[in-house]
A = this chain, B = another copy of it.
Amino acid sequence: MSGRKPTITDVAALAGVSVAAVSKVVNGKGSISAATRERVLTAASKLQWTPSAAAVALRSAKTRAIGMVAKRSPDLLSADPHFSLLISGIEGELSPLGYGLLLHIVGEQPGPGEPDPEEAAYRRLADERRVDGVVLTESRIGDTRFELLRTLGVNAVLVGTPWRADPVPSVQATGLGSGIRAAVDHLVGHGHRRVAYVSGPEDRVHTVHRRRVFEDALAARGLAPSHSLVSDFTAAGAVDAISALLADRRRPTAVLFANDSMAVAGLSAARRLGVDVPGELSVIGHDDLPLGELVYPQLTTVRQDLVGLGRAAARVLLASLGEVDAEPVEVRPPELVVRESTGPAPDRT
């Protein structure tokens, strides 16, 4: 080949097949016999030919990239490894197929006079044909992202529960709610009667859903929440919440937080105020991030299968692209992980 870079035509010639057949093999599209496929791959290997992404994209309109837009302030993002776990799961499915993950981190709030940064990111991904699909996270009440992506012609899958019964592709754990119910049972079983809940932002679908599960589980035991506070997933918000709870004359003996970062920040703030955890106050988190095992006392928490959710979401997209069979990936149900931050209610000890 005298130094010239081999082309798809060279591969087709050596394999004795048409350029279209090589293209089919490369793009994994259309029917092609095993023998032809073998001949094409052997020829490509002999010539050391690899199709460029741009060339493949031109022929097949696939970019072999999946997009994910994380709408969080960079600070919050790094404090909460939630996304890292989702990404691990997504990458686990994409990597073997040679797909990449195109990540955009955008702020929570648009600048003055600017469009919503997440929406702008999707428009750009679509306009520039950067991705074959996107993974959406943090289902919000009144979410308009699916309508937008449908308009833009971009495949999408949601990690979580859609805000209404839209025919929207989404992945969720089986047995949703089982973890929070187990947490309530664990506390009530240890004699707790005054149990508080500190939620995330109100616009999240899971905030509303989880609080209802919490209230229903208490009601099933003839109890009501002692307090129900809305917070914002930040450490500062958790410290404010725990301070308010502990200042109350009828303070709770146990608190559930909507994520682990808030739970650890709240637990630490309580100990700094001289409150023994779990002697005087039991604390439960949500997600089971590695953080919970690093601290002392180790955090009791509701484990979410975030890696499984990421894998399942990637599979839905890859199936819609014809890359894999549409077999659902199992996402383990949430479960309670009991560690050191919960114990008997103080009035029983």
Q: Name A residues whose Cβ lies closer than 8 Å to a Cβ of B.
A: 50-58, 61, 63-65, 67, 74-75, 77-79, 81, 83-85, 87-89, 91-92, 95, 98, 100-106, 124-125, 127-130, 235, 261, 264-265, 267-269, 271-272, 289-291, 293-296, 298, 307
Closest Cβ of chain B: how far from A171's Cβ, in Å?
18
Q: Which 3 A-B pairs have the closest CB atoms?
A: A74-B88, A268-B296, A79-B290
Measured CA separation A203–B295 after assembly (Å): 28
Task: Tell whether, in the assembled complex, residue B91 and residue A56 are in contact, meaning their CB atoms are under 8 Å apart.
Answer: no
Task: Tell whether, in the assembled complex, residue B104 and residue A290 are in contact, meaning their CB atoms are under 8 Å apart.
Answer: no
Task: Tell whether, in the assembled complex, residue A100 and residue B104 are in contact, meaning their CB atoms are under 8 Å apart.
Answer: yes
Query: 12 A-B contacts, Cβ less than 8 Å apart?
Result: A57-B58, A67-B100, A74-B91, A79-B290, A79-B291, A87-B105, A91-B105, A100-B125, A100-B130, A102-B103, A264-B294, A265-B294
Measured CA separation A125–B52 after assembly (Å): 10
Contacts of A64 in B (CB 8 A): 128, 130
**Known contacts A74-B91, A91-B105, A100-B102: does B58 contact A55 (CB below 8 Å)?**
yes
Contacts of A105 in B (CB 8 A): 87-88, 91, 95
Closest Cβ of chain B: how far from A66's Cβ, in Å?
10
Closest B residue by C-beta to A273: B296
Task: Tell whether, in the assembled complex, residue A295 and residue B307 are in contact, meaning their CB atoms are under 8 Å apart.
Answer: no
Task: Tell whether, in the assembled complex, residue B293 and residue A235 are in contact, meaning their CB atoms are under 8 Å apart.
Answer: yes
Measured CA separation A30–B342 after assembly (Å): 63
Closest Cβ of chain B: how far from A267's Cβ, in Å?
8
Contacts of A100 in B (CB 8 A): 67, 102-104, 125, 130
Residue from B74, B264, B293, B307 within 8 A of A74 (CB atoms): B307
